[in-house]
Amino acid sequence: MQHNDQTTFPQVGWPQALQKKLNPDVELLNFAKNGRSTRTFIDLGHFSEAIKAVDSDSIVLIEFGHNDEHVKDVERFTRPDYEYRDNLIYMVDECQKRGAYVMLLTPIYRRWFLEDGSLDETCHQGYREAMLKVAEDKHVDSIDMTSLTKELLRKMGKDATRSMFMNFDAGIYENYPEGMDDNTHLRMKGAELISEIFIEQVKNNRKFEGLLNV
């Protein structure tokens, strides 16, 4: 979800597309950092910095999972039903102490297609379920972005979804002269489609009244 600048163009986080669909007086603060798991977001002080901006007028969106899955990276890896769950609960509790409205978003699906054109069914297994359970236990709203984005990718298919992600040939972008083969991070087309899914889910939520310019 990180806000990317020109140094990583054309990579964008989907909140960059969401920003364009908010009313001008709505301030969107994005504290996400590429490569962070729930563990490292807390351990490296990013959450401590983010929580300073949270008050009773805040809507806090929390999306983690991709980097918590890195089993071989001891600094980032968390087990879904243990550290991942505990870290999410900690962040929810700290935001709620400040009176904020918290919403949990399961991680968006990776563009993992098999040779036969079907989607790999293993993406985010365990982490999606753990986050939804935290939302249920803590009585906070959630959006199952994993399932919603999975269905989007399935409908569009392998070829059409390539332009959503950082998948492109050599010689197209100056920042990536050799091209990229990245099925996780988004380009603007992907960010716009993901933000549209999010907006569809919250447009009837009273907490978002007056915020959306759609």
| Residue whose tokens read 């990583």 | 8
End-to-end CA separation in angstroms for the chain: 21
Inter-residue contact 100 to 56 (CB < 8 Å): yes
Structure-block tokens of residue 154: 């399935």
Distances (CA, A) of 1 to 82, 114, 155, 162, 181: 23, 25, 23, 19, 19
Please report the domains of the chain, with CATH numbers, ordered by start residue: 6-208 (3.40.50.1110)
196 backbone dihedrals φ, ψ, rounded to 5°: -65, -40
pLDDT in tens, 82-140: 999 999 999 999 999 999 999 999 999 999 999 998 999 999 999 999 999 999 999 99
Asked if omega into 10 is within 30° of 0 (cis), the reply is: yes
Q: Is the pLDDT of residue 180 over 90?
A: yes
For residue 110, the cross-strand partners are none
Q: Strands, E, within the chain: which ranges?
A: 59-63, 101-105, 141-143, 165-168, 180-186
pLDDT at 153 over 90: yes
C-alpha 130/C-alpha 29 separation (Å) is 26
Report the percentage of the chain scoring pLDDT > 70: 100
Q: What is the pLDDT of residue 214?
A: 81
Q: pLDDT for 3-16, tens place per residue?
A: 999 999 999 999 99
Query: Average pLDDT, stretch 31-58?
Result: 97
